[in-house]
Amino acid sequence: MIEASCHCGAVRMAIDTPPEEVTACDCSICRKLGVLWAYYAPQQVRLTAAPDATLVYLWNRMALEFHTCRTCGCTTHWAHVDRTYHRMAVNARLMEPAVPAATRVRELSNSG
């Protein structure tokens, strides 16, 4: 079981397995957020947070919801607006440092 949480603990996630890899994306938003994405099926992630604990920023043609803790400002995860989409991402930087450190990093370049 892998645990992740924002700095203040208002948003917590429990994940069935460690990530097989994490993605360092250099697109305009991911680069500025400084995230490492670990991808999962939504049913693998148990999110514990009050309904209004995150601010949502819609991006990528309004298809992705980037969630940020309303209290401490940590970007926690993204989810697809279409809930039938079977992939979401958790910010692996919110896991214990040993988890992403032991994981292969995929560099994703969107700068052409």
- pLDDT tens for each residue of 90-112: 999 999 999 999 999 988 777 54
Beta bridge partners of 77: 67, 90
Sign of the four-CA dihedral 17, 99, 103, 55: positive
The Cα 22–Cα 38 span in angstroms is 5
Rounded to whole angstroms, the maximal C-alpha distance in the chain is 39
Q: Which residue has the tokens 């097989």?
A: 20
Mention the CATH class of domain 2-108: mainly beta
pLDDT grade, residue 77 (50/70/90)?
very high
Contact 75, 91 (CB under 8 A): yes
For residue range 41-70, list pLDDT tens digits in order: 999 999 999 999 999 999 777 789 999 999
